[in-house]
Amino acid sequence: MKPTNEQLEAYKAMAAASPDSMKAKIEANLRATCDKFPGHEDRLEDCMEYLTECAREILNGKNGEVDDDTCYRVCRDYFNDEIWAKEDEAKAAKEAKRKADKEKLDKIRSEKKAKKPVKKTASQVEKESLCKEKQRIEKLKEKHGCKPAEPEKTCKADEEAKKVELEKMQAEAAREAEALKKAEEKKINDKIRAQIAEKNKELGIGMAQPIDMFAEAV
């Protein structure tokens, strides 16, 4: 049967307040026998943890007790051999390794993220495909000894000749349009004259000189 939580708390308080606790005895022994203890009193808790680990090893992990003189010797060695300093170095090395591992892992993740392919749009895919196809055709031309077609060379004289030819074509088209217009007007005038002659004939004035609405005034 285990003690209740209230009982355990009472036991802890009683042990902490007792002047005969193991911690109090060890502190008194260190002050009396260890020259390197003064100035490092703040490491007493670390010393007690070290003593606990040593006792566990001495007892091979089993329940038991270690005599006081052995405990005093372990604690004196902790300060005389500056084991506390070695513990600090070990903690610093462990922390440095942890930070280095974290930085390495962050770098790997960052590189993976950078290498992750970006989703391309349909237009980008089409553009790349056309570019690749163009490069493929150029390589085939080079392989079969085909030279790329050179752009046509033009000179100022050629441009002037083309300009003159264009102006001639425009003038010819204008003349044809004017002739067509006049032909249409004549056709309309002839039709109107025929209608007038037909009307005069119906009125019995066939012998009369038809009225020419389009004749020039005398």
pTM exceeds cut of 0.85: no
**30 vs 96: CA distance, rounded Å:** 33
Q: Is the pLDDT of residue 211 over 60?
A: no
- The domain segmentation of the chain, as residue ranges, is 10-81, 162-218
* 43 Cβ contact partners less than 8 Å away, ≥ 6 residues apart: 79, 84
Looking at residue 66, its pLDDT comes to 92
Question: Tokens 């074509």 identify what position?
Answer: 169
Q: What is the pLDDT of residues 77-112, one digit of tens each?
A: 999 999 989 999 998 999 999 999 999 888 888 887
Assign 26 a pLDDT band (cuts: 50, 70, 90): very high
Question: Mind listing the pLDDT tens digit for each residue in 148-185?
Answer: 555 555 567 778 888 888 888 888 888 888 888 888 88
- Enter the DSSP assignment of 215: S
List alpha helices for the chain, DSSP H. 5-17, 22-33, 44-58, 68-80, 83-115, 122-143, 156-202
> Which tops the pLDDT comparison, 208 or 136?
136
10 Å Cβ neighbour count for 141? 13
For position 48, what pLDDT does the model report? 94
- Report, as an integer, the average pLDDT of 23-52: 94
Residue 77, token pair as written in the block? 């060695």
CB hemisphere CA count around 13 (13 angstroms)? 6
Residue listed under structure tokens 């391309």: 120
In 3D space, the residue among 83, 74, 85 whose CA is nearest the CA of residue 30 turns out to be 74
Q: Quote the pLDDT of residue 218.
A: 46
